[in-house]
Structures are given as C-alpha cells and as structure tokens.
Amino acid sequence: MLVGIWQSLRPQQWLKNLAVLAPAFFAGQILNENWWGFLIWAFFLLSAASSGSYIINDLLDKEKDNLHPLKASRPIASGKVPDSVAVLVAAILITFSVATSFHFRAYFALTVAAFVALQLLYSLFLKKVILLDVMTIAATFSLRVFAGAFILSVSISAWLIITTVTLALLLAIGKRRAEVTLLTHRLASKHREVVSRYPTVLLDGMTFMMATATMITYALFTFNAPEVSTRHRLTELLPQTLSNPKWIMITLPFVIYGVFRYLFVIYEKKEGSSPERVLITDFPLLAAVVGWLGAAFFAVYVAVR
C-alpha cells in the first residue's frame, strides 16, 4: 500500500512546483545561500498541497479514470489504496502545507491557501466548465511563481507572469487536444466530461494561439529585461554595437524550438496527454529545456557583473 500511496502523490507532477524558483533565478539570487532554505520550503509545501489535491481529484474521478488506458492503473482507481486511507493522507498533506506556510511571510501563506482552494475548486467544479478548466490550470501556475516571489520578497516581472500563464494555457489546451487524439472524442468525453464541449477545431486554434502568445510574451520578457553591465572580458570580445546586450535574449531560440517541438509531439507523435511525461521521455524537448537553463544561467550569472 505504501507504494500505492507514493504513486498517488504523483511525484512526477512536482516538476511544476519548480516555478517557485523563477523569481529568485531571474533576480540573480538563486545562488544566495541565505535563500535556499526558504525556496526549499516553498517547493516542499506546494508539493504537499498539490499532492493532497491530486489525491482528492483521483477520489472524485475514480470511476472515470477506469475508462482511461493510462489512468486506470492508478492506485486509487484500481483499488490498491482504500478510499479511507486516501482521504486521511490528503487531509494531512493539505492541512500541513497551509498551516506550515503561515510560519513564513503572510502573502506567501495566503498564496499557498489560494493555491489549495483553487485546486479543490478545480477538482469539484471548475474542471467541468469549458474554458474555465484550462484557465484555472494557468492560474495555479502563476500562483506558484507568486509564491516564490512572496516568500523572498523580491520583485517580479509582469511579462514573466504573462509568459507563465500563456505557457500553462498551451500545456493545458495541448493536453485536452492530445486526449481527444488518444481516446477519440467520444471516449475522451466519457473520461473527462468537458472535452465533449470542445470542438476539435477550437482546440487546434487555441493551441496555436497560445503557442504564438508564449513565444511573443517571452520575447517581450527578455527584451524588457533591465540592462546590466557585461563582464569586462566579454566586452573586449564584442563589437561596439553589442557592447551592452541584453544577454537573456540568447535563450529565445530554445523557447521557440521547445514550443515547436511540443506542437510536433501533440500532432505528429500523438502524445501530450501527460506534459510531464513528455518532458522526461522526449529527448529533443528535454534537450531544449536543458539548453534554455544553461543559456539563462550564463545570461544572468556569468555574462554580467
């Protein structure tokens, strides 16, 4: 049963909570040892909150998950974890995450509480409402970023928040589109009621719209980054025209390729129903993410002084 409980926590989904690191990373403070404890706690508490919410969602979707070729094997859907145990674990995780967050800054605690409330509303109601279902997912991503900013009291770019929202919408809508491809529209609607209300042409249009928006908003984020002085050695190698560039813009090609690759995964490879699984298993997409991290680290921590 312990293995089943661990699987029900969906540890692979904790990748989403790395968004709490974004404000510190782009503020140039991710290497500040004084902040590591706060960031680890933020990640840990959001992971506990999200895992508790996932368990509740699995309990509510138990019957529908049995219609899904992948989700039918989940511990709660398959009966490996009794409902009573699942409820107890979920209650402990959610109570612990919210209560512990109040030992930190007030706005961080309120953000964690709002995150939990939104996740529960999604499981109970919002996931059944067309458009609001994907917008709720995007809102939870933005709350993760705000939580990272609030726990450290650092400023955050509005363009970074908008990019987070558009990227989350792309992933959520792409997931809906992939579910239709994987199960066909009729079976997908039995597994997830709201899918039946999404015309395929609308999902396609929204997918490409959010892909475009993600690239544009990220480009504006990099373009509006504050100018900082370049290290002297790099200045000597650059022409006068590029004497003081916005180094973060070198990450743009990785983002553009990553978006294009994700579209390829959805439409050609017919995957994407589990974005976190795609990230781990699709090597070109994983390479783009790693390349982006390397380029961003260089731009924020190496190229400037």
Model confidence pLDDT, tens digit, residues 161-220? 999 999 999 999 988 888 777 665 555 555 566 777 888 899 999 999 999 999 999 999
Q: Are residues 7 and 136 in the same domain?
A: yes
For 220-253, what is each residue's pLDDT tens digit? 999 988 766 666 566 656 665 555 668 899 999 9
Q: Are residues 106 and 212 in the same domain?
A: no
Closest CA to 10 of 64, 57, 67: 57
Q: Are residues 92 and 128 in the same domain?
A: yes
Please give the mean pLDDT across all residues of the chain. Answer: 87
For 147-156, what is each residue's pLDDT tens digit? 999 999 998 9
Last residue of a domain, one of 156, 179, 211: 156
Q: Are residues 35 and 146 in the same domain?
A: yes
User: What is the value of pTM for the model shown?
Assistant: 0.88
- Residue 287's pLDDT is 96
Q: Are residues 40 and 63 in the same domain?
A: yes
Query: How far are the Cα atoms of 37, 75, 134, 220 from residue 139, in angstroms, in the given order?
Result: 25, 28, 9, 20
- Residue 246's pLDDT is 80
How many domains does one find in the chain?
2
More confident residue, 59 or 278: 59
What is the span of the domain harbouring residue 230?
A: 158-305
Q: Are residues 136 and 278 in the same domain?
A: no
Last residue of a domain, one of 132, 156, 180: 156
What is the rounded distance in angstroms from the CA atom of residue 26 to the CA atom of residue 239? 26
- Residue 160's pLDDT is 93
Q: Are residues 287 and 169 in the same domain?
A: yes
CATH of the domain at 102: 1.10.357.140
Q: Are residues 176 and 278 in the same domain?
A: yes
Query: How far are the Cα atoms of 80, 211, 250 from residue 8, in angstroms, in the given order?
Result: 10, 31, 39
Last residue of a domain, one of 105, 126, 156: 156
- Residue 238's pLDDT is 61
- Residue 235's pLDDT is 60
What is the rounded distance in angstroms from the CA atom of residue 175 to the CA atom of residue 168? 10
Q: Are residues 10 and 81 in the same domain?
A: yes
Q: How confident is the model at residue 278 (pLDDT cuts 50, 70, 90)?
A: confident
The pLDDT of 51-65, averaged and rounded, is 87
Q: Are residues 27 and 106 in the same domain?
A: yes
244: exposed, middle or buried (Cβ count in 10 Å: 0-12, 13-18, 19+): middle
Q: Are residues 5 and 147 in the same domain?
A: yes
- Residue 290's pLDDT is 96
Q: Is the pLDDT of residue 68 over 80?
A: no
Asked if 86 and 120 count as a contact pair (C-beta separation under 8 A), the reply is no
Q: Are residues 83 and 52 in the same domain?
A: yes
